[in-house]
Homo-oligomer: A and B are copies of this chain.
């Protein structure tokens, strides 16, 4: 099958078995790959009774049709599972080189079930898959594990592994890739799923060619766009994603002091991508096939925060370890970032839960006896770093915080629920829903909890448009008219991006749906048009929603913490506006063809060809006509 390897490996760690199942063209066209195809498999094989940390959960690595092709920035893969942090659908979109490598090894994906009797890792190459003893690597951080595992396999192998956090089932643990380049499957605690399977790593080396239907056509199409993409993303290459820090701060989009502070211009300037470019930046980093280069390689050479030359903090990380904790020391942020990478922790959730703890500490809900004497105040960089260590090693207060904000607030109790900022258990990233009301709706409805990437709406509420799907100009950020439609359309589109495995930053380089459709045609040979493309995205979004509905998610979960709905941000230059979530949700359910309680209607699911999935949902969900 053109554009695909055509088969998926099934690894049962309990039985020690490896099987291969064909990926047929019908399934591929219907669910594409990545997060979409992963969702389909998860949907079919798990459900409300699945314990996310039990052997019955699936850990799914999935590439997509674009992976390993000439499509720009397509060296990506998804990791899909049921989240131990949120208890619902989880997917994480990963950059780097690992996804392409898997495709080159002849696999579209790997579905891992069971639990190994002792620490194991997978060694995958052109010849097949071996389940190997990982005891020599257990306990290593992800940078060291990468080195050691490549030494034990192949120097050019690509490594996906957990660190001590995932091993210890920390619920905000990430799965890391590419060693010091540190490409995370960050969100939703997937590292803990991997740890629960006693699986240290998946190491891949592949050398096969990847076929596309029209190699020449694809090359020409891509070539034509390269200058546009390069031009449109030049600032990203120079300053990385955190080049936006000061702009976001000036607009009220940057997270400050656990979302309680309005302006912090001096601090933001000190931790911006521009500040990084003139200090610790070594060079930009490019994923496979990438011409954007938003990644950072940094080196803090000396001082208390000296670290290795390795991946630098991106925008979300600067926001969450920096702004959220009021840390204006870029070297400290780089150090905390490196520690998160090494332990295998999601920097977003880690920053969020530490900021939460700082607020709890300043309010006296956590005392120095809880922190082992750490003065856990906002702005204390040493405290940040020590807390990252405690979370990464699951020690002391870190054990509670590593459970995520929702559970930590449950443990701390009292007024802490007022500042436990999460949606469906997932801590929001560094975009303020009071700044972009589409983000408010997107956070409330994203299938993995508070997420900016499943809608990517902030970009379309400021600079981007997508005329080929009716988004003729950037949407006014506080205007409710058609906001629900904007968010739903973008969620459908991003569900495709997450399935093709294409980088969302391509949109900043002028890549439109028309181009994506053309590339999909050229890669697969399918006669696919914009309508099928967007309907497929809609199908995938609804599939994930229905999975969540089966897990008990309905309208009452499509909510925001009241800090976002009732606390105004006010300060110089800020437009003060609180999101009218109820009205947006009402419009959204209607536009989506969901009932008032946020459950897709039968007519919607049938229109999307999800009849089979409906049958499986009926026990747990009442689906209205």
Chain B proximity mask over A233-249: 1 for CB below 8 Å, otherwise 0: 00000000000000000
Contacts of A514 in B (CB 8 A): none
Whether, in the assembled complex, A583 has its beta carbon less than 8 Å from a beta carbon of chain B, the answer is yes
B578 adjacent to A562 (CB under 8 Å): no
Which of chain B's residues has its CB closest to A560's CB?
A: B582
Is the beta-carbon distance between A578 and B568 smaller than 8 angstroms? no
Q: Which residues of B contact A597 (CB under 8 A)?
A: 415, 418
Q: Is the CB of B566 within 8 A of A585?
A: yes
Once the chains bind, are A418 and B554 in contact (CB under 8 Å)? yes
Residue A462 at the B interface, CB < 8 A? no
Is B418 within 8 A of A555, CB to CB? yes
Give residues of chain A (520-540) contacting chain B, Cβ–Cβ below 8 Å. none
Complex contact A565–B578 (CB within 8 A): no
Which residues in chain A, 378-428, are within 8 Å of chain B measured between CB atoms? 414-415, 417-418
A134 at the binding interface (Cβ < 8 Å): no
CA distance A556 to B556 in the complex (A): 13
Cβ B562 vs Cβ A556 within 8 A = yes
Q: Is there contact, CB below 8 Å, between B580 and A417? A: no
Question: A-side binding surface: helix, strand, loop or mixed?
Answer: helix
Asked if B586 and A554 sit within 8 Å, CB to CB, the answer is no
Q: Which residues of B contact A556 (CB under 8 A)?
A: 417-418, 562
Min distance, Cβ A284 to any Cβ of chain B, angstroms: 41
A579 within 8 A of B: yes
Chain A interface, number of residues (Cβ within 8 angstroms): 29
Count the copies. 2
In the complex, chain A residues 583-625 whose Cβ is within 8 Å of any chain B Cβ: 583, 585-586, 589, 596-597, 622
A563 at the interface (CB under 8 A from B): yes
In Å, the complex CA distance between A567 and B566 comes to: 20
- Contacting residues of chain A (418-456) with chain B, CB-CB under 8 angstroms: 418
The residue in chain B whose Cβ has the minimal distance to the Cβ of A549 is B415
Give Cα A589 to B562, complex, Å.
Answer: 13
Task: Known A418-B556, A555-B562, A566-B596; judge A582-B586 contact (CB<8 A).
Answer: no
Q: How far is the CB of A609 from chain B (nearest CB, A)?
A: 25
- Across the interface, A566 reaches (CB within 8 A) one of B363, B555, B566, B622, namely B555
Contact between A583 and B586, CB atoms less than 8 A apart: no
User: Are B582 and A552 neighbours in the complex by a CB distance under 8 Å?
Assistant: no
Q: Can you name the residue of chain B whose Cβ is closest to the Cβ of A599?
A: B415
Taking the complex as formed, is A581 at the interface, i.e. its CB lies under 8 A from any CB of chain B? yes
Q: Are A563 and B596 in contact (CB under 8 A)?
A: yes
Residues of B within 8 A of A563 (CB): 596
Inter-chain contact A567/B552, CB cutoff 8 Å: no
Bitwise interface map of A from 83 to 97 toward B, beta carbon under 8 Å scored 1, else 0: 000000000000000
A364 within 8 A of B: yes
Asked whether B596 lies within 8 Å of A586 as measured between CB atoms, the reply is no
Residue of B nearest to A552 (CB): B414
Residues of chain B within 8 A of A579, CB atoms compared: 582
In the complex the two chains form, is B567's CB within 8 Å of A578's CB? no
User: Would you give the shortest CB distance from A361 to chain B, in whole angstroms?
Assistant: 13
Nearest first, the 3 closest Cβ-Cβ pairs linking A and B are A565-B582, A580-B580, A566-B586
Given contacts A363-B622, A418-B555, A566-B582, 15 further A-B contacts (CB under 8 A): A364-B622, A417-B554, A418-B554, A418-B556, A418-B597, A555-B562, A556-B562, A559-B562, A562-B582, A565-B582, A578-B580, A579-B582, A580-B580, A580-B582, A580-B583
Some 10 contacts from A to B, beta carbons below 8 A apart, are A364-B622, A415-B554, A415-B597, A415-B622, A418-B597, A555-B566, A559-B562, A565-B585, A568-B586, A578-B586
